[in-house]
Amino acid sequence: MLSEIEDDEPLSIHNIKEIHALLSDRLQYDKGQFKSSDNAIKGADFLTASAKETPLLMQQWVDNLNFRLASTNDKQEKIEIISESHIALERIHPFSDGFSDGNGRTGRMLINYSLLQNDLAPLIIQSKDKAEYIAFLSEQNTKKLTALIEKNIRLEQERIERFRNSEKQRIQDDDK
């Protein structure tokens, strides 16, 4: 994933399937493949996309995300686009049901793909924020999801800066 981002490759269906395959290795027999039968999200009050419509919806999802991100240079707007797209992806729920279907992990990794590709810090959902994150997805609350993502990438950027500063200090100390 990092080499694809470094090569400035836009997100593709191939990338998505590869990410899912890696994240669900040894957990699913059909890793890296879109669902072949309809599925549902336990406890959700909406239907996910049908297996038949999933390939087309996923291509539209990728094309829309790439187009919208390429059409703006505003970092705030990019985070909003990524939030909206993440909610849409979770509603498609493109991978099969199973013990651990990997839809959530894959979706969060795709958030990071888009963030990193746009020179933003990666997102780490803290365990204390997980219930809130799931509620925002369920409610399709883009505004609150965007705020949560902004807060967490700001915290991650601060952590990255602290790490860089400690590395600089270590190098300076080694040079003495």
Nearest CA-CA partner of 30 in 101, 88, 90: 101
Q: Helix, strand or coil for residue 142?
A: helix
Render pLDDT for 91-142 as a digit per residue (tens, 0 to 9). 999 998 654 678 989 999 999 999 999 999 999 999 999 999 999 998 999 9
| CATH number reported for the structural domain that contains residue 147 in this entry | 1.10.3290.10
Query: Based on the structure, what is the number of domains in the chain?
Result: 1
Confidence of residue 90 (pLDDT cuts 50, 70, 90): very high
Whether the predicted model's global pTM rises above the 0.85 cut: yes
Q: List Cα–Cα distances, 96 to 70, 171, 173, in angstroms.
A: 30, 48, 52
Query: Distances from the Cα of 175 to the Cαs of 98, 163, 164, 167, 170, in angstroms?
Result: 54, 18, 17, 12, 9
Domain of 36, in residue numbers? 2-175
